[in-house]
Homo-oligomer: A and B are copies of this chain.
Amino acid sequence: MIAEACWVNGESVSDIPVTDRGLAYGDGVFETIRVVAGEVTLADYHWDRLVASCERLGIAVDITVVQRSARRFLAGREVGILKVIVTRGSGGRGYNPKECDSRLILSWHNLSVYPATHWIEGVELYACSLRLALQPALAGIKHLNRLEQVLARAEWDDDRYAEGLLQDLNGHLVEGVMSNLFLVKSGILCTPDLKLSGVAGVMRQWILDTMPNRGITTKIKADVSLQELRQATEVFICNSVNGVWPVLAYAGMQWMPGSVTRQIQSAVFGVLHV
């Protein structure tokens, strides 16, 4: 991904020391944020998750410093992606993370361009053969250990598939490579539980927080099976950069974008403008 601009610890530089633990061990977290009219979208969600992820890993971060730096960095920028990386910095001794000062990396990227049909008609999902490991110590966090996603994304090279769907080692459905999964079953909006694997996306969380007040019952469900997906009346994927894409097809199953998906797309448009 080309970076149009970078700041490291508040200074306009585009490099980090090779001793950074983000490189050495993936010892850090990140957020990929949609910026519209110079504003961070879903700001509270992104900052809350960044803080929670750092806490889980024991990385010290002052979120007000991150926010202030991001605000200055975004001056004069309009529409694009703000990527925020917080690493544990360059200290420690081997794996031992003692006495480190975290490092803040901001970078600015152009939005990827996707066909409008992804939102309107929906997308087809590739059935990834890689199975996500179960690791409760890391599940949910948007950390920098993302080789599973890299290997899964490398599995297909056909533009027919806009995204790939991942199961865990037990064969349960978890998420997309770069998105979360929702399905509508018996009128209830369900999304897989992410206590054992997966990334708890902020778009997913916003939908879970917002939709009950708009008449949609939501449920976080463990052990979502292929059978349950097959029985779903609507399926969609979402992330905080691209919003909501209805799912048309996956592994021989087919769905049509339904009214729940459309209602959520409409609500998401209000916050992401997509």
Task: Give Cα A143 to B144, complex, Å.
Answer: 13
Q: Who on chain B is nearest to A132 by CB?
A: B135
A72 at the interface (CB under 8 A from B): no
Contact A147 to B57, CB < 8 A, known contacts A25-B26, A94-B1: yes
| Contact residue among B18, B27, B85, B152 (Cβ-Cβ distance under 8 Å from A147) | B27
Task: Give Cα A135 to B147, complex, Å.
Answer: 11
A2 at the interface (CB under 8 A from B): yes
| Contact residue among B21, B93, B98, B137 (Cβ-Cβ distance under 8 Å from A130) | B137
Write the nearest CB–CB distance from A245 to chain B, whole angstroms. 15
Q: Mark A1-28, 1 if CB is under 8 A from B, else 0.
A: 1110010100000111111111111110
A229 at the interface (CB under 8 A from B): no
> Which residues 47-82 of A have a CB within 8 angstroms of B?
57-58
**Residues of chain B lying within 8 A (CB to CB) of residue A169:** 134-135
A127 at the interface (CB under 8 A from B): no
A36 at the interface (CB under 8 A from B): no
Chain A interface residue count: which class?
Answer: 35 or more
Write the nearest CB–CB distance from A5 to chain B, whole angstroms. 10
**Residues of chain B lying within 8 A (CB to CB) of residue A153:** 94-97
Check A58–B154 contact: CB distance below 8 A. yes
Looking at A19, A150, A157, the one whose CB has the most chain B CB atoms below 10 A away is: A150
Contact A23 to B25, CB < 8 A, known contacts A18-B8, A137-B130, A154-B97: no
A214 at the interface (CB under 8 A from B): no
Write the nearest CB–CB distance from A171 to chain B, whole angstroms. 14
Check B25–A144 contact: CB distance below 8 A. yes
Report which A residues bind B (CB closer than 8 A): 1-3, 6, 8, 14-27, 30, 57-58, 85, 87-88, 92-98, 105, 107, 112, 130-131, 133-135, 137-138, 143-154, 157, 169, 177-178
